[in-house]
Amino acid sequence: MVIATALGLVLSFTKARHLEGVGASRLGSVLLYVMVATIGMQMDLAAVLDNPILFLIGIIWILFHISLMLFVAWLIKAPFFYVAVGSQANIGGAASAPIVASAFDASLASVGVLLAVLGYALGTYGAYISGLIMQWMSS
């Protein structure tokens, strides 16, 4: 995951970013919808009944996320668009952030992709560093 993230970030500074001229954005949008549909088809809603405490923990986690996002948005006076897309980029990632952004305006889908990729990059490296710190602390 770290290598794929680094490779994607490096390629974004090369001529590969000009693939938009050959329809990369349209193909990317189609593949995003396919990915969202694929993720949805793998859900097992009956699994919630197997361990309901995990469902409660998820609700608490999401409430904390919402509270933090709204507080930071109020603090920096961010438009609601950034709150909605930033939240979806954190939770759903690149699969759903562009869809939420395009709900505001079709031309904003790229902003959703950028926020999701930034979240992936920071999250990937942050998780790797956290893992190293926990490994160091346990030894």
pLDDT band with cut points at 50, 70 and 90 for residue 75? very high
Distance of alpha carbon 25 from its chain centroid, rounded? 18
Rounded to two decimals, the pTM is 0.55
**74/68 Cα distance (integer angstroms):** 10
- Indicate the range of 22-36, 85-99, 121-135 predicted with least confidence: 22-36
Mean pLDDT of 103-131: 84
pLDDT band at residue 5, thresholds of 50, 70 and 90? low
Residue 48 pLDDT > 70: yes
> Which is more confidently placed, 56 or 106?
56
pLDDT average, residue stretch 84-104: 81
Quote the pLDDT of residue 32.
67
Q: What is the mean pLDDT of residues 120-134?
A: 88
Encoding tokens for residue 61? 């986690």
8 vs 69 pLDDT, higher one: 69
Residue 22: its pLDDT value, please?
Answer: 66
**The dihedral sign for the CA sequence 4, 30, 109, 100:** negative
pLDDT, position 123 = 82
